[in-house]
Amino acid sequence: MYYRCMGGRDTEKERGIDVLLRPELNTALTALADAVEEFAAQESLSGALPINLNLVLDELITNSVSYALTNVADPVLRLRLRRDGDMVVAEVEDNGAAFDPFKEAPKPDIEQGLDERPIGGLGVFLVMQLSETAHYERDGDTNRIILQMRMES
C-alpha cells in the first residue's frame, strides 16, 4: 500500500493501478481480474463497466501474450488503470514487435451469415465497440494502447 502527502492535509491512499503482469495467459488474466476488482472498488464502478473493462483488457492482454510477446527474450507486459473525470483510462503496454491492432487486425463483417463469418478479429472489434476512445502508439520498443471508457452517472 502506498501513501502520499497531500499538502499538509491527511494522507490519502494512492489511487489507480499500475502492475507488471507475467506474460503467461492464465497468470496474466487472473492478475487482470484482480486488478479490475481492486480498481472497481477504489472508484466505486457500477453497472456493466467492471465486466466490460475486464473484457476489453482481456482481449488486449490475450493478444499480447499469445502473439506480440511469444518471441521476445525479456517480455514486459504492463497494465495501468486510472480515473480521469468521468472516464476510466486503461493502458496496456508490451515490448513486442510494433503492431497497431486498430489498423492491422482484420475487421469482422458482422452482417455476414453463419457460414461466411470469418472467425478472427472479434476481440479487437469488441475493444473498439466497448471503448469511448481507443488509441495505439509506438514509444521506443513499446506498444501502448490507451483506452477510455465512460463511467455511468
Which of 19, 42, 62, 146 binds other proteins (CB under 8 A)? It is 62
User: How far apart (Å, rounded) are the C-alpha atoms in residues 98 and 78?
Assistant: 16
Which of 17, 19, 42, 54 binds other proteins (CB under 8 A)? It is 54
Phi, psi of 44 (to 5 degrees): 50, 45
Closest alpha carbon to 79 in 89, 67, 66:
89
**Which residues have CB under 8 Å from 121's CB, separation 6+?**
105, 106, 107, 108
Which run of H or E residues covers position 134?
strand 133-139
Phi, psi of 34 (to 5 degrees): -65, -40
Number of residues binding to other proteins, judged by CB under 8 A = 32
Binding mask 19-48 for other proteins (x = CB under 8 A): ------xx--xx-xxx--x----------x
User: How far apart (Å, rounded) are the C-alpha atoms in residues 26 and 28?
Assistant: 6
Binding mask 116-135 for other proteins (x = CB under 8 A): -x-x--xx-xx--xx-----
Q: Which is nearer to other proteins, 54 or 148 (CB)?
A: 54
Interface of this chain with other proteins, residues 70 to 99, rule: CB under 8 A: none
The residue ranges that bind other proteins (CB under 8 A) are 25-26, 29-30, 32-34, 37, 48, 51-52, 54-55, 58-59, 62, 66, 108, 110-115, 117, 119, 122-123, 125-126, 129-130
